[in-house]
Amino acid sequence: MGNQNKTIVFTAPSGAGKTTIVKHLLAKFPDKLAFSISATTRQKRDIETDGKDYYFISAQEFRKKIIVGDFIEWEEVYDDQYYGTLKSEIERIWEQGKIVVFDVDVKGATSIKKYFKENCMAVFVSPPSIEILIDRLKNRGTETPQSLKKRIARVRTEMKYKYKFDEIIVNDELQLAFSDAEKLIDDFAGITKNP
């Protein structure tokens, strides 16, 4: 079967560093892995590119896609702020013979694992502690006091999911987290065994 129809999910509370780890892996194994671009209704940030970071669509369009069954999973994170994985995106990556890599929140990761079962390895990226994570979020300076409060509440909930996934990477020292992640990918995908 090779890497046909395999998926890897990275999930974590916001600010735990999963996106940094995912970007590292994609750069290291560009011919083996491809990033699943999520659809979202949230506003595009200046540094983001449509079709690269996310597919930015309106809430109305998103709801239409839900009705016709275009999503593997979707979630309304905040009022009218949806995120989801399009079936067409997975097909696009599998057609290139690559493994799909997801970078999603814990709810999304749970749904994706349920959908792909043993063809999916789900990895939880954990901060060394909740306190360290809250400090990281505060130091980012991207949150208003109100949105920071919302995020911290979510982090506390999300940390409870830690043991529901296949693997855990503790992101204390980033280089170590990178090599742990590389090893997991290698074991799952046999990258060094069939170059």
d(CA 112, CA 146): 30
Of 8-12, 31-35, 60-64, 130-134, the poorest mean pLDDT is in 130-134
pTM, rounded to two decimals: 0.86
Confidence band for 194, pLDDT divided at 50, 70 and 90 = very low
Q: What local confidence, expressed as pLDDT, does residue 78 receive?
A: 81
pLDDT in tens, 137-149: 888 877 888 988 8
Q: What does each C-alpha distance from 117 to 5, 36, 167, 183 come to in angstroms? A: 11, 17, 14, 21
Tell me, yes or no, whether 97 lies in a domain: yes
| Cβ atoms within 10 Å of 177's Cβ, excluding its own | 21
Q: What local confidence, expressed as pLDDT, does residue 39 receive?
A: 96
Q: Is the pLDDT of residue 113 over 90?
A: yes
Number of domains the chain is built from: 1
Tell me, yes or no, whether 195 lies in a domain: no
For residue 24, the domain's CATH number is 3.40.50.300
pLDDT in tens, 167-191: 999 999 999 999 999 999 999 987 7
d(CA 117, CA 3): 15
Tell me, yes or no, whether 194 lies in a domain: no
Tell me, yes or no, whether 2 lies in a domain: no
Tell me, yes or no, whether 28 lies in a domain: yes
Residue 28's domain comprises 7-189
Tell me, yes or no, whether 13 lies in a domain: yes
Tell me, yes or no, whether 68 lies in a domain: yes
